[in-house]
Amino acid sequence: MIPPDHPLKPIDVLLVEDDPGDTLMIREAFADNKVRNRLSCVADGVEALAFLRREGEYADAPRPDLVLLDLNLPRKDGREVLQEIKGDPELRTIPVVVLTTSEAEEDVLRSYELHANAYVTKPVDFDRFIEVVRQIDEFFVEVVRLPRV
């Protein structure tokens, strides 16, 4: 059994993504990489905040160790979600990686102003997309020390 503070202990990842194709590719990237991490997925910003706050149907949801957040979401935009996460004392320590198609400099700047931990533009090429997700996962599992709350 892996001790709770072991650096390679599986982590809980929340993917906030409204594009079913991107969700599928990210799931495949985790599977292809034989990632033991647990991936939960929600499709909009309202669901993301309910999941993070363990409200309603998400009352038993695990607290994510990492959030992968798209910016362009229905019901509540990813920027608003990021602002609420980083403004909430209970959630602000969860690392948030913005994973989006936007290459706009204003989106990059605004995300960092809202305290995103990283900003990654989704590659269009499938193999490159898989590689980027694998690198994010490896970085947050093998390199970074995450708070255990």
Mean pLDDT of 55-67: 94
Query: What does the pLDDT read at residue 149?
Result: 63
Q: pLDDT tens digit string along 95-144?
A: 999 999 889 999 999 999 999 999 999 888 888 888 888 888 888 777 87
- Give SS3 for 85: helix
CATH 3.40.50.2300: does it fit domain 12-137? yes
**pLDDT confidence of 33, banded at 50, 70, 90?**
low
Q: pLDDT tens digit string along 74-87?
A: 999 999 999 999 99
Tokens encoding 72: 């362009």
Rounded Cα–Cα distance for residues 136 and 116 (Å): 14
Query: What does the pLDDT read at residue 98?
Result: 96
Contacts of 41 (CB under 8 A, 6+ apart): 14, 15, 16, 17, 23, 27
Domain range summary for the chain, segments of one domain joined by +: 12-137
